[in-house]
Structure 1
Amino acid sequence: MVPMDLMALELFFIGLLGLASLAIAFVSVVVLRNLFRGQR
């Protein structure tokens, strides 16, 4: 019972980490694009 709960919690946090990294990558791409567009 306990290992299954631990596994679910671990999967939840790994998914959260993946979501956060995706959001960070998206924001950095938008910021870089705006920087390069501002230079022209």
Structure 2
Amino acid sequence: MVYGHILISSARRWLVQHFFLFIVCLFVLRSNHSPGSSLIS
């Protein structure tokens, strides 16, 4: 069952990375939609 463990760990890592990208995109969209609050100068 080593192959199954490697597959699950790689899938979890993929989900974590894409979840982080999703959060970053959401934060960028929120900061863009709110007027007057530009964090990036």
Where in structure 2 are there 5+ consecutive unaligned residues? 37-41
Q: Kindly tell me the number of residue pairs found equivalent between the two proteins.
A: 36
**Cα distance in 1, alignment partners of residues 4 and 34 from structure 2:** 45
Where in structure 1 are there 5+ consecutive unaligned residues? none
Which amino acid in structure 2 is aligned with residue 5 of structure 1?
V
1:33 paired residue number: 30
Deviant stretches of 4+, over 4 Å: none
Q: CA RMSD in A?
A: 1.3
Matched residues, percent identical?
14
* Structure with the higher helix share, 1 or 2: 1
Q: TM-score, normalised by structure 2?
A: 0.77
1:19 paired residue number: 16
Q: TM-score, normalised by structure 1?
A: 0.79
